[in-house]
Amino acid sequence: MTATTLKRPAIGVFDSGVGGLTVLRELLRQVPQADYLYFGDTARLPYGSKSAETVAKYAISAADFLVKQGAEHLVIACNTATALAFERIASAVKIPALGVIEPGAETAAAASKSKQAVVIATEGTCASHAYKRALAAKGVEAREKACPLFVPLVEEGWTEHEVTERVAHIYLDGVFSGDFSGADALVLGCTHYPLLKPLLRRVVPAHVAIVDSAEATAKAMAERLDLSSASSGQPLVKFFATDSVDKFRKAGEKFLGCKIENVTHVELES
Ligand code: DGL
């Protein structure tokens, strides 16, 4: 009898920087039967304020890199890249790709009884209306609100700071009002926002469900993979960053919630 080698899928996870580690964190929790390659394009972030053309070009080069490293599935953890360039990235790589918007919208649609949701995201994601379209397809009306200061505040580690709470009130107090006073779901449409969940819980009305696209994406990945023959054991994770590996490690540990080793610097052609 020949022994069967059990195969663990290799999942490439791509983001503009360390924020996508919130998605990797959920993947490690929900899909521990896979191994991971994480790419943070730290030299070229932020993506949230860039054009669709630029984001698509950067994202495709990063996705190509992950495929060359052996990725068999691609998770586009960056909301902005998913919003602005999902189709282009997915058709440029020859492996199955999953973005964060469809799973986030699906979870929000399931959570919302009033069929009205608020989406908070970067300028780029909001301007693309990708969440609005995805939610409309599921019968949910969306109000989008760009919250560009949240990314630098989270990167500064100010996830429980009074300044961040004030900023959150300024962004959100007027949003759950008027036509949207009955909205009962808040979609966290940016990699960094899951770290603000406890603070946002205090800022938005109590009846509002907070929907984390990172959690939803990991769940969608678990449903997509046939893991019945995957070997058990700890996931192997390799990290790649286009800027300083030390900076990536230091900033990344806050997002991943554990130690980061094994970071390789990558120079991508521009
Ligand atoms: N990763 C981006 C997103 O989820 C946020 C950071 C950036 O603007 O690059 O939209």
Residue 234 forms part of a structural domain: yes
What pLDDT was estimated at residue 166? 98
pLDDT of residue 17 exceeding 80, the answer is: yes
pLDDT of amino acid 1 = 40
Cα(153)–Cα(219) distance, integer angstroms: 28
Mean per-residue pLDDT, 255-259: 94
State yes or no: pLDDT of 58 exceeds 90. Answer: yes
Examine the domain organization and report whether 111 and 208 are in the same domain: yes
Give yes or no for residue 2 having a pLDDT over 90. Answer: no
Residue 175 lies in a domain: yes
Co-location of 71 and 110 in the same domain: no
Q: Are residues 70 and 84 in the same domain?
A: yes
Say if residue 243's pLDDT is above 60. Answer: yes
* pLDDT tens-digit series, residues 106-146: 999 999 999 999 999 999 999 999 999 999 999 999 999 99
The answer to whether position 222 is within a domain reads yes
User: Domain residues for 85?
Assistant: 3-99+217-265
Is 126 in the active site? no
Q: Taking all residues of the chain, what is their mean pLDDT, rounded to a whole number?
A: 95
176 has a pLDDT exceeding 80:
yes
| Pair (206, 229) in one structural domain | no
Same domain for 139 and 202, yes or no, is yes
* Whether residue 145 is found in the same domain as residue 179: yes
Q: Which atom of ligand 1 is nearest to the CA of 20?
A: 1
Order of strands, edge to edge, in the sheet holding 35-40?
Answer: 97-99, 73-76, 10-15, 35-40, 237-241, 263-265
Domain shared by 63 and 12, yes or no? yes
Q: The domain that contains 187 carries what CATH number?
A: 3.40.50.1860
**Domain total in the chain:** 2
Judgement on whether residues 116 and 155 belong to the same structural domain of the protein = yes
270 inside domain: no
Q: Over range 248-267, report the average pLDDT.
A: 95
Q: Which of 126, 147, 190, 258 is catalytic?
A: 190
CA distance 131 to 124: 11
What separation in Å is there between the alpha carbon of 5 and the centre of ligand 1?
38
Q: What is the pLDDT of residue 6?
A: 67
* Same domain for 120 and 185: yes
Give yes or no: residues 122 and 182 share one domain.
yes
- pLDDT for 62 equals 96
Q: Are residue 106 and residue 185 in the same domain, yes or no?
A: yes
- 188 — pLDDT class (breaks 50, 70, 90): very high
Q: Is the shortest distance between the CB of 191 and ligand 1 below 6 Å?
A: yes
pLDDT, position 85: 97
